[in-house]
């Protein structure tokens, strides 16, 4: 569920944020496992 209370499909999120499905799944895992701290920028992220 999104912040505004709506839900989006994985493909809609991929298109909106222009990232791969794998990235979205990693973000979800990190959030589910570690909460918002799991989503802090990693030093290995490419910019």
Instruction: Give the model's pLDDT for residue 7.
Output: 84
| Residue 27 near residue 39 (C-beta atoms within 8 A) | yes
Give Cα 42 distance to the centre of its chain: 13
Res 47 pLDDT > 70: no
As a whole number of angstroms, the distance between CA 38 and CA 44 comes to 14
- Asked whether the predicted pLDDT for residue 44 surpasses 80, the reply is no
Residue found under tokens 């973000």: 27
At residue 39, the 3 state secondary structure works out as helix
% of residues, the chain, pLDDT over 90: 15
Read off the pLDDT of each residue in 16-30 and give the average, rounded to a whole number.
Answer: 89
């Amino acid at each position: 569920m999104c912040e505004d209370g709506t839900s989006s499909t994985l493909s809609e999120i991929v298109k909106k944020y222009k990232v791969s499905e794998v990235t979205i799944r990693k973000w979800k895992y990190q959030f589910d496992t570690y909460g918002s701290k799991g989503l802090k920028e990693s030093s290995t992220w490419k910019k």
